Amino acid sequence: MARGLHAILPPIDVVVGSIANADPSCPDEGDSLFSFSTGFLWEDGLAGRGEYESDGSIKTQVVRSPFVQIPLGVTEDRLIGSVDVEESVKTGTTVFQPGLLAEAHRGVLYVDEINLLDEGISNLLLNVLTEGLNIVEREGISFKHPCKPLLIATYNPEEGAVREHLLDRIAINLSADLPMSFEDRVAAVDIATQFQEYSNDVFKMVEEETEYAKTQVNTTTRMFLR
């Protein structure tokens, strides 16, 4: 389901050189910018690190909306970012190595079996999603960047419940145990089998529906941004 949703998300415009998919709608007046008119934020140092056109405007590029999965055994450094030791030695200055949260900004952040996620990692994730901002202060680093992904998670209630404070941050909670008719089950198995053997054919079969869904998402997005 998560990858299916990712397939219909439109590409995004990002600032060239950004480690966190910075939105070019934010004015380039300095570091760690927040625009009260747009609500967009750049990561530290981007205004000085970015590339500029001859007219002074920041260079941008269109990229596919990111899809990032958090594995159950993820470390804190991998999640929020850490010191890039190799680059720091080369440059003689402390260099920030972005984590999964930087990669996920403005895209999809997927967690499988979120109820089994380490409590410390869950708390970190909750704080960042609540603030919309990842602040890293460790080992000589003080760095912050925006983090506003679409969180999609799955869990099996038989293996334990999701922590209440984390569940509160999820807007929609759906059950996968919906009753299905025999015909629906057969159709689902057929599609799954076809996808394993002839994935390209399945993509072509649903291409029209996928494009229609993309159009709806794009139209709705433009309406909300007016």
Domain end point (choices 146, 162, 178): 178
Claim to verify: residue 152 and residue 209 sit in the same structural domain:
no
If one counts the domains in the chain, the total is 2
Claim to verify: residue 171 and residue 191 sit in the same structural domain:
no
| Two structure tokens written together for 77 | 């450094």
Claim to verify: residue 80 and residue 184 sit in the same structural domain:
no
pLDDT digits (tens, 9 = 90+) for 147-188: 999 898 988 888 888 888 888 878 788 777 777 788 888 887
Claim to verify: residue 202 and residue 142 sit in the same structural domain:
no
Q: Is the dihedral of CA 125, 127, 128, 131 positive or negative?
A: positive
pLDDT digits (tens, 9 = 90+) for 42-75: 777 777 777 888 887 888 999 999 999 999 999 9
Task: List Cα–Cα distances, 101 to 35, 117, 191, in angstroms.
Answer: 21, 15, 33
Domain residue limits at 76: 2-178
Average pLDDT of the residues in 214-218: 72
**Which CATH number goes with the domain that contains 19?**
3.40.50.300
Claim to verify: residue 120 and residue 206 sit in the same structural domain:
no
Average pLDDT score, the chain: 80
Q: In 119-128, which positions are buried (b, 16+ CB within 10 angstroms) versus exposed (e)?
A: eebbebbeeb
User: Of 71, 73, 141, 135, whose CA–CA distance to 109 is shortest?
Assistant: 71
pLDDT number for residue 63:
93
Claim to verify: residue 82 and residue 163 sit in the same structural domain:
yes
Claim to verify: residue 166 and residue 183 sit in the same structural domain:
no
Q: How buried is residue 11: exposed, middle or buried, by Cβ count under 10 Å (0-12/13-18/19+)?
A: exposed
Claim to verify: residue 20 and residue 39 sit in the same structural domain:
yes
Claim to verify: residue 219 and residue 160 sit in the same structural domain:
no
Claim to verify: residue 41 and residue 90 sit in the same structural domain:
yes
Claim to verify: residue 164 and residue 131 sit in the same structural domain:
yes
Claim to verify: residue 197 and residue 171 sit in the same structural domain:
no
Pairing mode of beta strands 60-63, 12-15:
antiparallel
pLDDT number for residue 33:
44
Please state the pTM of the whole predicted model: 0.76
Q: What size, in residues, is the chain?
A: 226
Element (H, E) at 134: strand 133-138
Cα Rg of the chain (Å, integer) = 20
Q: Does the structure show a pLDDT above 70 at 189?
A: yes
pLDDT digits (tens, 9 = 90+) for 90-137: 887 777 889 999 999 999 999 999 999 999 999 999 999 888 889 888
